[in-house]
Structure 1
């Protein structure tokens, strides 16, 4: 089983849409599972990120959620305030091992927020999850498009490098129809500041697409490394 960690340079950058896009492309020939270790900001029983993944992919993949906290906070804070058990790296590693035993070809693990957001008050993070797996999983970073992303993307890349984790590349999760100067120049600058390739650009608003249009757009917006046909722009 291949495992990929999907994280972001922050919240609201399009992680769920990118996760769904990678899953939709892979599901054409593989068995795909999307694992959401911690869902925050959603009440029990309400549809969360995995419901969006299921809708966008046309229900062609399996999903699994490990912990849910109602307040829109970091998992550690949300767990503490709710009185619910915190999520631990060992819980995620056990779920990954269980999924691997089910014959899955590709497992996508979508984090909450960024790479170093705390899962619990012992300071465990998604980076610790990536490192704890039998074969440390490569990390796909979803970035915002505009001003300020070069700094947050560089900090994420530095955090991965310090932990000897593989930075697979960066995808811009919500690129505007009419980009401004920063959004245009960031396409060339992101690979320079992160030391990892730009692996895709998905348009803003894609999360509301029907499965057919979503699959077509994912194919056009993601690099062949992720199953698509997108070619990075020339410098």
Structure 2
């Protein structure tokens, strides 16, 4: 717990409970990261077997969200946490919701592949590049969460601008492809959906950054941008 800037409690059991639930979040995050990585690799390789495995394993992420949520509810009811302890529990509850939705993105990307097997696909080079960037964002934000590292969270938060630019590039590429061959419109629409879903993963990583900032600084930076965001995170 010391590496999270949390003080010791009179009850050693309370420390253990907080540490355990934090570790569960990291396990869930690792599973989601692996699913997203596998889903994007499945698209690249047109690997239907891998896609089916991803679809079939989505229930594991859902079950972990429910279990962690129930544990947080139990901690609130039993321990009645205050100050930074309460902020930690709230940050965990919000973070697992974001992770579950990222898991849904991986599942739906895999399902898109299985539903459109043996159909011609638009070029996916830009999509793969954006996917790699969002996977790195997810990996880095989970690392920041593990250490409750304010500076790392801010750095990841700022990476989303690059994901947005990647997304715009993918849209231009797919629109050109669709205009050149209108017969590909159904497939292009599927890839457009996948691109939007991957772009949203970057947004969800940003949200987790906001929860880390909330825990460390006690400041809610949601819905802030630019100078307002900078001023809030830098204010003592």
Q: Does TM-score exceed 0.5, indicating one fold?
A: no
If you compute each CA radius of gyration, which structure gives the higher value, 1 or 2?
A: 2
Greater share of residues in helix:
2
The two structures have a TM-score, normalised by structure 1, of: 0.28
Greater share of residues in strand:
1
